Amino acid sequence: MQITNRVAIVTGAASGIGRATAVALARAGAAGVALADVDEPGLGTTAIAVKEAGANPLPLRTDVGDAASLEQLFRETRAQLGDFSILHNNAGLPTGEPVWPEQSAASIGALVDVNLKGVILGTRLALEPMRAAGGGVIVNTASIAGHTVLPPEAAYCATKAGVEMFTRCCKPLVESHGVRVCCVCPGVVDTPMIRPDADGDVLAHVRPIFDALTPLQPEQLAAAVIGLIEDDDCAGRVQDVPNEGRA
């Protein structure tokens, strides 16, 4: 699909991969980009970057784990930007501390709601508007963690494995709804998600992996997302974007 003059929606757009993808979509010619996140100050910063890149931004505070909030996102996007044909289900949470199995029930519930439920709900709610507008493309953000054994990240890995399988199961939607669904699976990406401390250091349990590999930059993932959107032969694809080992 050509991105020029299209309307796109990006969740988790306040920083990291979401911000980079929103800006990349604007640079690729998108007419408007709806920006969804719970981080309103971050959304404001992304909106400025999207506008500077040439697209009309629409920042909307959105909880992707809540169906009503997602419905409002899609409704407001159509009302203010017009029909949308691109959705990047990108919002996600890290494991944080403590890790599995000491991880709290609340933390596990939040991971499932945002990382998996948000992707499934977002896709379901976008399908009819996309079909009515002539079809579209949905790209989900999974992770190489979805097919890698990382015991401290057990719950996180499970959510990302779920996103992969969900994406594969959505392949027939290209025939029934005119909507291609794919997902990108990054390795370790240098984003605020893994740098929660005020001093900018990475999560302690991630540090050994971070030190052994060259971390990906958000812009590399944005380029992969753009490639999936533009590849009309791509449906149900699960695309890895791995790290390189440090010399």
| CA 10 – CA 27 distance, rounded (Å) | 14
247 to 188, 201, 213, 240, 243: CA distances (angstroms): 17, 22, 9, 21, 12
How many residues are listed for the chain in this entry?
247
| CA 43 – CA 14 distance, rounded (Å) | 4
Per annotation, catalytic residue among 84, 156, 166, 210 = 156
Calculate the dihedral angle through the C-alpha atoms of 63, 68, 74, 75, rounding to the nearest 10 degrees: -130
Task: Give the 3-state secondary structure of residue 59.
Answer: strand
Task: Give the 3-state secondary structure of residue 150.
Answer: coil
* DSSP β-ladder status, 136-141 and 56-61: unpaired
55 part of the active site: no
Residue 101: cis peptide before it, omega within 30 degrees of 0 = yes
| CA 194 – CA 188 distance, rounded (Å) | 9
Torsion-angle region of residue 63: left (phi > 0), alpha (psi -120 to 50) or beta?
beta
Catalytic positions: 156
